[in-house]
A and B are shown apart, each in its own frame.
Chain A
Amino acid sequence: MKVALRLLGALALLAGSACGSGSDVRPLTVVGWGGSSQDAHRNAYWNSFTTSSGIPLREDSWRGGVGVIRTKVIGGDASWDIVQVETEDLILGCEEGLFQRLDWAALGGRDAFIPSAVHDCGVGAMLWSYVIGYDGDRIKGAGPQSWADFWDVKRFPGKRGMRKTPKYSLEFALMADGVPAGQVYSTLRTPAGVDRAFRKLDEIKPHVIWWSSISQVPDLLGSREVVMSVTSPGRLIVANRTEGRNFKLDWHGNIYAVDYWVILANSPRPAEAAQLLRYMTRPENQARLARYIPTGLTSVEANRIVDPKLKQNTPSDPANMTDALELDADFWVEYGDQLTQRFNAWVAR
């Protein structure tokens, strides 16, 4: 198998170089998630990095999934240097040796960042979260203030939008069933806890429209297809600003997680990549990022110096974090296959 894989890699390399995309000629390449977050990174970091360092940057975007990176690394395709990844991608990829180990001293030490932003193979890029979003023009007065409210179709009649994955859905279900945030994952690690979560999901299932792409959420809410939805805050804030919507957010019981920057193991430009990483994690630069996108910051110092108004609607605002739940990526790495399979069987019934 190993020989075969090497052969495959060599052939892919051959094909790659034959097509003229040899890694020695391309500039340093940074890969984000596209859309507004990529725009924010460009405006906050990448343009000024090239200006100040003289190092040209090439951008790419992807939709996540560490399998993409595994394919590139074992296939000998060294077209990416720095990539923005989710926590599970970070864990799996780091174990497999797909990412380089970071020099934390050069980044200012591990203590310079919030704890969850620190990993052997990655440094936190931004903090994001899933919250309850609803249309303030349809729900007047008191809106939903908990996952129990989200489940309460008598008080708030209408369909709900939820992401078509067990991840987040099971956690929200347990919180709706009265499990405190701190006990969600210990409950889910027991078979009885999983059964309990699915039983709770049974209650709301007839009222759910499942979405697959976060870009569907503003449309679902705006077209009154759903009355409330699981959402990331940024999309609705942008819709409020650009389309004059009156979408509202409720942060109770939100799930938050960190996205990380990693340097790929086969990057041909590790020194330049490390330089960009240092640039993107410097407090004054991170504080600038908050101006372009409502996101939580990972640098302790950046959180201190950033304009407090910019923290509203982000996980960096302490008021939003009273009963929040940090995504347990280790849990999902271990239980993801099994629960996804069960969720897919359940959701089709």
Chain B
Amino acid sequence: MTSSGGPLVAFRGVEKRYSVGGRAAVAGLDLEVARGEFLTLLGPSGSGKTTTLMMLAGFETPSAGDILLDGRSLVDRPPYKRNMGVVFQNYALFPHMSVAGNLAFPLGVRGIKGAAAKARVDAALALVKLDGLGGRRPDALSGGQRQRVALARALIFEPDLVLMDEPLGALDRQLREHLQSEIKRIQRVLGLTILYVTHDQDEALTLSDRVAVFAEGSIQQIGSPAQIYDRPANAFVAGFVGENNLLAGTLVTRQGDECSLRLRGGQMVTATATGTIAPGDDVIAAVRPEHVGTGADRPALCNALDARVDELVYRGDHSRIRVGLEGGGSLLIRAPSAPSVAVAERLPVGWCRDRCFAFPATGVALASTDTGA
């Protein structure tokens, strides 16, 4: 493939509706994928991330807009001429072929046969650590092994781009984490460009160079995992990525990005303002459980509130405390060690302004984050 300075893939104003005038599954999508990048589309089901991937693979056609690969429009190119490796959710191995037969299939299509094909099949099996299993049928493999075969099959023809649609969704947690590092290793070794779809935020943060958070058909935020986690762009991202305390309130004052707001329980807190909010607006303040200090650890010069312990869970390396705020509202706290308090005892809590963000209360409803991860 030609290499130019531009992005490998570009979505330009792409829209997808399944029926004329119906709800848009994807709307106003502008997205670029750089060569060698690992970009993850993260979002709840129905958010448009898989539709986006399938439009790129060629299994869905955009209703509007254009998709470019290396600067050339893909829209009229059938899937089998796009030269992209796709790893499907349920592996989609060919049950009537052996593992080696599955791997040789894309080679045969490209006219690579005989010893050359065999050498590449063996190399691909070695890459995914399945040496010697080429003769097996897919139904004689474990779930993890099948996923490795699917991965090897998507890589063996050296595609321009690898698309993965929830590839680890059907595996248990341990295996999933193991395979995540495998995928990352292979991407590094081969210098692959990967577009990865998942609803699992841990996976997204672990694997990606960049993450695009999807909700209701559009991108809510795109950036590095740290940006997404530490500087969520809106209440949806704050709620969807990682744990967060979302506190509803009203903006009282704003100066630049410094603001103060009144929570529903009447408490006054300061926060970092995000977006176009003005005094009097309904806002949502987000503060992560690990940024809430307690007792003596309560940071100086910060928002300080009185609370009472409702629930206490000891987790070994940390503890989780749920407290009720004086005046109303509740808060989850992640404390680094076993706290010296008991349930029903009073506990002063607090956090810094720069760890707390105030978002407009409008926008994507937070209820939509309520998906079983």
Q: Is any CB of A less than 8 Å from a CB of B in the complex?
A: no
Residues in A lying within 8 Å of B, measured CB to CB: none
